[in-house]
Amino acid sequence: MRRDTFLKSMAVLAAAGTLPLSARAAANLKMMIPANPGGGWDGTGRALGKALIDAKAADTVQYENKGGAAGVIGLAQFVNAAKGDPNAMLITGAVMVGGIITSKPAVSLDKATPIARITSEYNVFVVPADSPLKTMKDVVAQMQKDPGSVKWGGGSRGSTEHICASMLATKVNVDPKKVNYVAFRGGGEATAAILGGNVTVGGSGYSEFAEYITTGKMRAIGVTSEKRLPGIPNIPTMKEQGFDVVLGNWRAVYGAPGITAEQRAALTEMVVKATKSKAWAEALEKNGWTPAVLTGKAFDDFVDNEFSSLRGVMHLAGML
Predicted structure pTM score: 0.77
Per-residue pLDDT of 201-211, as tens digits, reads 999 988 889 89
Per-residue pLDDT of 214-243, as tens digits, reads 999 999 999 999 999 877 778 999 999 999
Give the model's pLDDT for residue 13.
Answer: 44
Task: Determine the average pLDDT of the residues in 82-107.
Answer: 94
- The number of beta carbons lying within 10 Å of the beta carbon of residue 238 is 25
**Residue 293 pLDDT grade (very low, low, confident, very high; cuts 50, 70, 90):** very high
Task: Tell me which long-range contacts 105-110 makes (C-beta under 8 A, separation of at least 24).
Answer: 105/69, 105/72, 105/75, 105/76, 106/76, 107/72, 107/75, 107/76, 107/79, 107/80, 108/75, 109/75, 109/254, 109/303
User: Residue 288 above 90 pLDDT?
Assistant: no
Portion of the chain with pLDDT greater than 90, in percent = 70
Portion of the chain with pLDDT greater than 70, in percent = 91
Task: Determine the average pLDDT of the residues in 59-82.
Answer: 95
User: Residue 197 above 60 pLDDT?
Assistant: yes
Higher per-residue pLDDT: 174 or 15? 174
Give the model's pLDDT for residue 192.
Answer: 93
Mean pLDDT of the chain: 89
Give the model's pLDDT for residue 26.
Answer: 67
User: Residue 17 above 70 pLDDT?
Assistant: no
